[in-house]
Amino acid sequence: MLAKNSGKKKVITDIELNTILNWLKKNNSRHYYNENPNCEGYYIFTDSLGILDKDIKDIVDAVRNRIIKNEGLILEDTLEQPLELSDIIVIMPTGTKLHVHKDPNKVGTIQVRYNLLLQKPEKGGDAIYSGRRIDCDTGCYILCRAGLDYHAGTLIEGKLDRLLISYGFLIKEENIEKYPHIFMDIIKNKDCLLNSNKKLYTTNPFITHKKEDHIERK
């Protein structure tokens, strides 16, 4: 599944983008960051930006609202828990790559993320979702069904880090039929069931629950 405006439509202005990039260069001390030991990358919870820099937080929030509008999301259909599911600025240095994983869902919800690319590496750093390599231009975003699909990234090479903002939403399972552009395979697939733990799963081959099955499809 792809976002309605996946990968090719800019959702951030050049001024906003440069403001964030300059801020990240100025505040590149790891004192600001949380370390992700799984991929040797770093991230900043945007909830803390109100303290660090209100101007940056305002841009992050403005872009979030544009994505909500572009994708037709209704916040009443989501579980808004900002303390538990924060938007995140992700810093992936050269020489690292995102590990293969799925993100946790809260009971009765599915976690989806819209990942906005702030800076593209010279080589690599491509997103791989459900075994498919997804292209994305700088200033654009792509959908990651983080709680359903295994996802990862290719090795980042060159002098530029991979920088992005990951906007997270927990969509209530009872509302997934309102979003066919996100969950059409789930809606159509009669094999989709709720298991005893009340977590959505499917036999759709593009939604694998075995980490070892995560192989990039050419």
Residue 8 located in a structural domain: no
Reported as a single tens digit per residue, the pLDDT across 173-206 is: 889 999 998 988 888 874 554 443 444 544 343 3
Residue 59 located in a structural domain: yes
Residue 217 located in a structural domain: no
Dihedral (Cα; 200, 205, 209, 212), 10-degree rounding: -170
Return the CATH number at 20: 2.60.120.620
Rounded Cα gap, residues 165 and 23, in angstroms: 14
Residue 179 located in a structural domain: yes
Residue 118 three-state SS:
strand
Structure tokens at 139: 């200033």
Residue 34 three-state SS:
strand
Q: How confident is the model at residue 210 (pLDDT cuts 50, 70, 90)?
A: very low
Number of separate domains in the chain: 1
Q: Note down the domain range covering 92.
A: 14-211
Residue 102 located in a structural domain: yes
pLDDT at 130 over 90: no
As a whole-number percent, the residues of the chain with pLDDT over 70 amount to: 71
Reported as a single tens digit per residue, the pLDDT across 80-129 is: 654 456 788 888 889 988 888 898 888 888 999 999 999 999 999 999 99
The pLDDT of 27-38, averaged and rounded, is 61
Q: Is the pTM of this model over 0.85?
A: no
Please, are residues 171 and 108 in contact by the beta-carbon 8 Å criterion?
no
Residue 218 located in a structural domain: no
